[in-house]
Amino acid sequence: MPQTLAAAVLRTHCANILKAAGSTPAEAQQVADNLVLANLSGHDSHGVGMLPRYVDAIAEGGLTPNADVKVNIDIGTMMSLDGQHGFGQVVGVQAMELGIARAKQHGSCIFTLASAHHLGRIGHFAEMATAQGLVSMHFVNVLSRPVVAPWGGGDGRFGTNPCCIGIPLAGAEPFLLDFATSRVAQGKMRVAHNKGVRVPDGYLIDENGAPTNEPGVVVVPQGNGLFGALMTFGEHKGYGMAMACELLGGALTGGGTWHRPADTARTVLNGMLTVLIDPSKLGTQATFEQEATAFVDWLRQSPPGAGYEHVQIAGEPERAARVAREVEGIWLDDATWSEIVASGAKVGVAVA
Ligand code: NAD
């Protein structure tokens, strides 16, 4: 049955399953908090629905509980880091803590993070940086089933490669742009398929490379045993951005790019290039603050377009969802809840 659960209850269930799967209590809590925060933020595709996959990835050997980030190269303003297949929610935060300290010391820091297991919502890392007054940019690739087609191509060749830019705004919440370069998240297609609804034009191609509105083409193998694929956002431009994320997040980090047929592994590895900038070290802090605020105010004065209440700034939808879902609880569809219960059973935890 579908469930609506309070965030606190969901955190406890997730942490219990993760502890039984091998995480220390502290790691289990950190990962559970991160997943539930993604649900609260409105991004169910990166919330607790990922937990069954994590439990399977541990069993497969692709996800190593209790691993720490490893510093391979450190030249002050540049670091090469290895996630050692640890939980992205943990090694990603460790990497950001190192990078933020360096950016505050030197004015900027560029770091690569290779071989982190699924980093979840990338905006989480940009929020850490903007909270410290830093600009934060992230380019990420995904080593998992290749679900997104290159522009002009007829099958999936890479992942949903997210890109994220966080910019602090004086006296206000930050600009927090955080998006997959696919037209829509793979998880949202699973939800649509489970509900039996069709999706708009331009989202998908089928297993033969033809446009389709059936979300099932990327959820279950089709007649010929193959999957369809998601399209990138923004046609050839989104494709270019997805490719930049693969080259920067995969090749430059050393974590690797995707160039092999799909397999059935449950492990999801992310590579991430991060650029951190401290505006106060550029001598433009006062102008930056004034000009950024003036621009945001200017945007907000735009009259609402047809069908819209007002102009929003990236980051606002997630913050509004957090306020609402803290009160209303988090709704989980039947399939997601059943998978969580089943993954608990795999590690001897009864979830009810
Ligand atoms: P999305 O399509 O909902 O876009 C989200 C972005 O658009 C946010 O920055 C949001 O604030 C902004 N936005 C939404 N509506 C807006 C409006 N009306 N006006 C202004 N801005 C608006 O999100 P998505 O592309 O489905 O990505 C969801 C999440 O999935 C992200 O957090 C991303 O990091 C994550 N992700 C992670 C991986 C991974 O492998 N770790 C892969 C893909 C995506």
- Domains, the chain, ordered by start: 1-66+326-352 (1.10.1530.10), 68-182+234-290 (3.30.1370.60), 183-231 (3.30.60.50)
Whether 124 is in the pocket of ligand 1, judged by its Cβ within 6 Å, is: no
State the pLDDT at residue 68: 98
State the pLDDT at residue 50: 94
The residue contributing the CA closest to ligand 1 atom 39 is: 120
State the pLDDT at residue 11: 98
Contact (Cβ atoms closer than 8 angstroms) between residue 205 and residue 231: yes
Whether 50 is in the pocket of ligand 1, judged by its Cβ within 6 Å, is: no
Q: How far is the CA of 164 from the centre of ligand 1 (A)?
A: 9
State the pLDDT at residue 134: 98
Q: Determine the average pLDDT of the residues in 18-31.
A: 98
Binning pLDDT at 50, 70 and 90, where does residue 98 land? very high
Q: Report the range of poorest mean pLDDT among 1-15, 127-141, 239-253.
A: 1-15
Q: Determine the average pLDDT of the residues in 21-32.
A: 98
CA separation for the pair 39, 187 (Å, rounded) = 12
CA separation for the pair 352, 341 (Å, rounded) = 8
Inter-CA distances, 256 with 158, 253, 261, 264, Å: 12, 8, 15, 18
Q: Is the pLDDT of residue 261 over 90?
A: no
CA separation for the pair 51, 236 (Å, rounded) = 33
Q: Is the pLDDT of residue 143 over 90?
A: yes
Q: How far is the CA of 179 from the centre of ligand 1 (A)?
A: 3
Q: What is the pTM of this model?
A: 0.97
Binning pLDDT at 50, 70 and 90, where does residue 5 land? very high
Mean pLDDT estimate for the chain? 96
User: For a pLDDT cut of 90, what percent of the chain falls above it?
Assistant: 91
Q: Determine the average pLDDT of the residues in 75-97.
A: 98
State the pLDDT at residue 186: 86
Q: Determine the average pLDDT of the residues in 258-281.
A: 95
CA separation for the pair 204, 45 (Å, rounded) = 17
State the pLDDT at residue 339: 93
Whether 331 is in the pocket of ligand 1, judged by its Cβ within 6 Å, is: no
331 — phi, psi (to 5°)?
Answer: -90, 130
Q: Determine the average pLDDT of the residues in 249-254.
A: 98
Q: Is the pLDDT of residue 2 over 80?
A: no
Q: Is the pLDDT of residue 262 over 90?
A: no
Atom of ligand 1 nearest to the CA of 184: 26
Largest pairwise CA distance in the chain: 61
Q: How many residues does the chain have?
A: 352
| Other CB atoms within 10 Å distance of the CB of residue 80 | 18
Q: Determine the average pLDDT of the residues in 292-321.
A: 97
State the pLDDT at residue 332: 92
More confident residue, 319 or 352: 319
β-bridge partners, 5? 330
Atom of ligand 1 nearest to the CA of 41: 32
- Token representation of residue 172: 């206000």
Q: Is the pLDDT of residue 231 over 90?
A: yes
The residue contributing the CA closest to ligand 1 atom 26 is: 185
Enumerate long-range contacts of 41-44, CB under 8 Å, 24 or more apart: 41/121, 41/123, 41/318, 41/319, 41/321, 41/322, 42/317, 42/318, 42/321, 42/325, 43/121, 43/185, 43/318, 44/187, 44/191, 44/330, 44/332, 44/336
